[in-house]
Structures are given as C-alpha cells and as structure tokens.
Structure 1
Amino acid sequence: MPLPRLALTLGDVAGIGPEIIVRAVTSGRLREFCTPLIVGHPDVVARAAKLLDTPLRLQLVASPAEPVSDGAIACWNPGADVVRDVPAGQIDGRAGKGAYDYLVAATRAALRSEIDAITTAPLNKAALHAGGVNFPGHTEILAAECGVAEFAMMLYLPPGPEVRSPHGLGVAHVTLHTSVRSVPGLLSESKIRETVELIDGFMKRIGCDQPRVGVCALNPHAGEDGLFGDEEATLIAPAVQAAVAQGIRAAGPFPADTLLRRAVLGEFDGVAAMYHDQGHIALKLIGFERAVNVTLGLPIVRTSPSHGTAFDIAWQGKASCDGLVEAARIAAALATTR
C-alpha cells in the first residue's frame, strides 16, 4: 500500500516554516510514514536548505499529483514570486498572502484527492491581514474552502508520558480566534453540542471506542450556582444533556482548572473548552513539542504543530522540526482512516 501523499505548506516565509520543513524532509523521518510534497516557493526552500547546510534535491512539479524521481522532494509553487524578497522575522503582507495562497491551493488539491492530507507550517495573523486576507487564521480559511459550518480546532496530545489516557488527549474549542470579551455572546447550546460531537467522532476515529468527553464551564467555579454567571445553566448543561441523549459519554460543565487536570490524569479522553486559551494553555504547558493542531469537521485531513511563526528565532537555524514531524505523523495516520 503506497504511503499517504502529504502536502507541507510553507506558511509565513518570514517565520520558521521553511526551516522546519527542510529539517523534516531531510531528516528521513517523514519518509517512514508519508510521501512529502512541499507547497511553496522553491527559492525560499533552497535558501532554508543553504542556511541549514543541508543537501536537498528539489523537483519542481506543475501539479501535486505529478510523480517525482527517487530521492527527490517534490515542490509545488502555487503562489507569487514576491515572497522571495520577504525579510526574516517581520510582519509582511507578501508573506501573509503567500501563506494564504499555499493553504488554499493545498486544500483544493486535497478536495480533488490529488493529495491525502495537509500539514501546515505556521502563519502570522497580522501578516495575513496586511496581505488583504480577511480571515483570522488557518481554521477559518479551511472551513470556508471546504464549505462546512460545523468545525472546531483541536489540540491533540498523542499517547505519551504527559497524559495517562491510552488514546491521548484531545481538547477542542467552541470558539476560535476571537477576543475574550466576545466569547459569551458567541456561545450557544448548539455550538457546544456540535463541538462535543466532533471530539467524540475524532477520538473514535483514532481507536477510542467509547470516548469520555469532559465539558468546561465558562466561568470560575462553574459559575458558583449563578453567582459568577449563568452560561453553565442556560447553555452548557443543556448541550451536555443533549449530547448524552445521543449516546455520547459527555459530562459537565466542570470548572476548567480542575477538569483539565482530571483529563491529563486519565479520567477523560477529550475536553470541550469554551475558548482558545482555556484549552491551549493547559496542553501547551504539558506537551508543547508534541501537541498537534487538528481541524475537526472537514472532509479533508489537516494538522499543524502547536507553535507559531517564532519571528524571534526565524532564519537563524535554531528551530526544531519535532512538532512538525509529529503533526505530519498524525496527518498520515488520519489519512489512512478516512
């Protein structure tokens, strides 16, 4: 059986994306579970290889499905040439637009089944906007391109020393890239229930037959019986009850500070967080290098490492590719269970 064909998008070329992709494809680790395809400008890739003093034989392809010769790494450039001149470690609209073009092209190729999965290097949201792209991040672009209304961003920590569940721990978020002030108004019973359903479906897909899903409260102490807010009683508890009525092993709402600890200790396989940092902080604290971002609800497979563009160390040869390799490994595994 052929290995999954995995697209690696360069992300923001002013960040560490080109470096970590070159490290990953030249390490030999990716070849164990996928056939990589770099999506981005070949000159930027070659410059990263020179920086790292790493031999890299690129073969330019006109389409993702074009075969390559043995030992070569395919590189497909669906973007503009202007990214070649982007300075390192700075917000630049050309880099933002390039990251968008790479992602959109890879997504459409996946929808056409020309590739089996996508792993994205980080983009910078300010650069995205500077490039005229009015999306807050990868997840929202992917949902728009795929035409889906029910989707979620998950941080998934595979089985390992950080978590006791034999299936790892997945934390998905009801709201995504938005201000904390706007979160209460964006919550609804249906969105919370949909997030629980997506968590349940993902965990089953990776082999957890009966996932246990804990649902975070929004307010401290789960609202303290209405003293700190009523979202727990009016929105979250009814969503949990609706999920249970569908046969999902959901429970909550629980105070987030104790729920995440309970999940790490193995009581839950998945957690529904109400907002971005409520889930991200806990998982990044215990598993920053191994946590993988997975977009749930898409008809295609997309993952990414949990870190950002790291402008402070970009193009200095310091960035580790471990997070990208782990994200690629999860993408390849999910591609075989579609």
Structure 2
Amino acid sequence: MTPGSSSPGAPLAITLGDPAGIGPEVILGAWARLRAERRAPPAFVAGGPELLRNAAERLGIDCPIVPIAEPADAQFASAAGLPVMAGLDGMSSPGHPTVVGARLALGSLQWGAKLVLSGEAAGLVTAPISKAALAAVGWDYPGQTEFLAEACGRPWRDAVMMLAGPSLRTVPLTVHVALAEVPGLISEGLILHKARIVVEGLRRNFGVLQPRLAIAALNPHAGEGGQFGDEEARIIAPAIAALRAEGIDAFGPVPGDALFTPRARAGYDAALCMYHDQALIPLKALEFDEGVNVTLGLPIIRTSPDHGTAFDIAGKGLADPGAMAAAISMASGMAEARASADA
C-alpha cells in the first residue's frame, strides 16, 4: 500500500497535542458537538483514554471514552462514544506544561503518523503542541508540518500550509521568518513551486477541478508602478505569467488591501500570500473559530485547528471546540474527495 492510501472506511486519527494545553478539551468538545449534530465521521484518538476520561469529567463534557485496541475498532466503538487507542496514556496538568506531557504529545503524534502512513487511518488531525516543551525531549523541527514531511520522506519545502475556512483559503509563501527577510526570500521559483502544489491539492483534496489562484502583491498598491518596490514587476508578475502558460488560472499581483473583500473572495479558490500575517490575519479575522490548518503536498491528509495550545485558558472550560470540529470534518471531506478522485 502506497503512503497516503488507506483501506476503505478507514477512520481518521486524532493526536492529543500537549496535554497541558486545550487539546484534550477541544477534542472532547468537538466530538460531543459532531455526535450531537450526527456529523461525527469514523475516527479515534491516538492514546490517552484515562487522560481524556478525567478531562471530560472535570470539565463536565458529555463525551464517553471507549478504549480500543486497533483503528478498525473505531467504526463500531463510535456508537458508544469517542474511540481512543489504549496503550499510551498519562496525566494532564492544565496550564502547566511538563516534560512528561511533552513525551505524551510526541508519542501520540508519532503513533498517529505511523497509522496514517500504514493505511490504517485515512487522515491525521493534530491537536496543538508546544514546540518549547517538545525541545526538552529532543524535538528539532519548526513545527508538526515539518515533522510529518520527514515522516513521509518528503523535503520540508513540499509541505505547504493552507489556512481554510468556509469562505476563504489562504497560503503563506513565507511562514515563520522576520518580515525584513521576506523580500529576499520571494522568488519566481518559490511562487511556482507552491502554486503547483496548491492547485494539485485543491483538485485532489477538495474536488476543485479548475482552481483559481489569486496571487497577492508584496508592496502597498502592488508597488504603484515601482514607487513602493519592484518585486511585483520583477518577480511576481513573471511567475503569474509562467503559471498561466502552464494552464493554471492565476491572476494578480493583487494589492493586499483589496484581496479579501467579499467580492474579491468570490473570484478565487485560494489566495497565495507573500508572508505569514498577510495570509493569517484575514483568515483569523473572518473565521477564527472555524479556521483549519491544512497541509498540502504530502501523500497523507493532515489538518489541524488554526490555534495554539492556549495554556492560559487550559482546563477552564473556555476553549471553543469549533476549529477542532472543523478540522475533523474537513479531514473527513478530504478523505472522501481523495477516494472519489482515485476511484
């Protein structure tokens, strides 16, 4: 079985994230919401049955925990509650990250990735981790995306982050770098590489057969004819022309202040942005509680809620599970789209 292909009806794997953060409670809340709305897909959590049971009791979340021995058990166990793989467990310490908790988070992530790569799970939904906490147990990755790329045998540059909500999808061309470094990192080759991955991802994972890409400008007013910078004319416009020559429906450069109006959003399927905040601010402003972080360019399906560990509110019952519910639903829809495309 090739990586990324799964058995028919295979469930999704959900990872715990840092147990000191809001991961456990948003998993519980999301599952309870999806079950109540009869939208819960076949899924299981990679470890933590007692941890999740204790969290549900402490927070008053109506989400029975059903320990299972293997992913195939999830289909039947989900009728009684949230299926959770037994064999990996621990205690939570809301708001207080520990080395023990970091090991549990890493173990859950490794287990979930292994099950997806083996085809026993149809996709991976990852709860938030703390990179600082994981560094204490030998973690040496910028994030979960890069870890998963390496697990899939792909270079990090092939793992493209897309932020997706009901009315907007954005892709940052550069991610966790200083704003001052962005102009030097942007190149025609980088735009082409990521745009091709986004187009293929939209086709295979979302059923968008003819994707429309809006390419953002870097400078105010798209450079104003060179008065505010020449990256648009020198780099971005030639990249767009090359994409169009390949048959990709790309347009721009579109000034950042005009790219996210309601009328503009109706004209494209994804916006390729030049830097982190240019992509994330509009997504979070419009759809914070439903925003999903989707990884494109890998053989596996991976989604995650578009928020962090939120240690400051962990264990207080304040975390909104909407983004986790959206991440689970989106991963399920992507699995269905892939099955249809590959049929």
Q: Does the aligned pair in 2 maintain the 1:173–1:195 contact within 8 Å?
A: no
Question: Shift of residue 36 of structure 1?
Answer: 1.9
The sequence identity of aligned pairs, in percent, is: 40
After TM superposition, the structure 1 = structure 2 runs for residues 112-131 of structure 1, keeping only pairs within 5 Å, are 112-131=118-137
The two structures have a TM-score, normalised by structure 1, of: 0.87
Q: 2:140 aligns with which of 134, 149, 152?
A: 134
Question: Shift of residue 62 of structure 1?
Answer: 4.1
Match of 2:114 in 1: 108
| 2:104 aligned with 1:98 | yes
Q: 1:76 aligns with which of 74, 85, 89?
A: 85
Q: Distance in 2 between matches of 1:97 and 1:222?
A: 46
Q: Distance in 2 between matches of 1:223 and 1:47?
A: 55
Deviations 1:28-57 (A, max 9, x none): 158634112012322321221111224544
Q: Does the aligned pair in 2 maintain the 1:189–1:236 contact within 8 Å?
A: yes
After TM superposition, the structure 1 = structure 2 runs for residues 146-225 of structure 1, keeping only pairs within 5 Å, are 146-149=152-155, 150-158=158-166, 163=167, 169-205=168-204, 206-225=206-225
Deviations 1:215-235 (A, max 9, x none): 112222223333433332332
After TM superposition, the structure 1 = structure 2 runs for residues 3-14 of structure 1, keeping only pairs within 5 Å, are 4-14=10-20
Unaligned ranges ≥5, structure 2: 1-6, 339-343
Match of 2:49 in 1: 42
| 2:58 aligned with 1:51 | yes
Deviations 1:113-153 (A, max 9, x none): 00001111112232232332111212111211112232210
- The amino acid of 2:60's aligned partner reads D
> Which is worse superposed, 37-46 or 115-124?
37-46
Q: Rate the CA distance shift 1:192–1:100 in 2: closer, same or farther, 3 A.
A: farther
Q: Distance in 1 between matches of 2:263 and 2:309?
A: 29
| 2:291 aligned with 1:284 | no
Q: Rate the CA distance shift 1:263–1:210 in 2: closer, same or farther, 3 A.
A: farther
Question: Shift of residue 236 of structure 1?
Answer: 1.9
> Which is worse superposed, 6-15 or 201-210?
201-210
Q: Rate the CA distance shift 1:64–1:185 in 2: closer, same or farther, 3 A.
A: farther
* Number of aligned residues: 326
The two structures have a TM-score, normalised by structure 2, of: 0.86
Q: Distance in 1 between matches of 2:37 and 2:145?
A: 24
Match of 2:341 in 1: none
Q: Distance in 2 between matches of 1:95 and 1:225?
A: 53
Q: Rate the CA distance shift 1:333–1:193 in 2: closer, same or farther, 3 A.
A: same
Q: Does the aligned pair in 2 maintain the 1:263–1:271 contact within 8 Å?
A: no
Question: Shift of residue 208 of structure 1?
Answer: 2.9
Q: Distance in 1 between matches of 2:310 and 2:103?
A: 18
Match of 2:246 in 1: 246
Question: Shift of residue 95 of structure 1?
Answer: 3.2
> Which is worse superposed, 181-190 or 16-25?
181-190
Match of 2:3 in 1: none
Unaligned ranges ≥5, structure 1: 164-168
Q: Does the aligned pair in 2 maintain the 1:303–1:330 contact within 8 Å?
A: yes
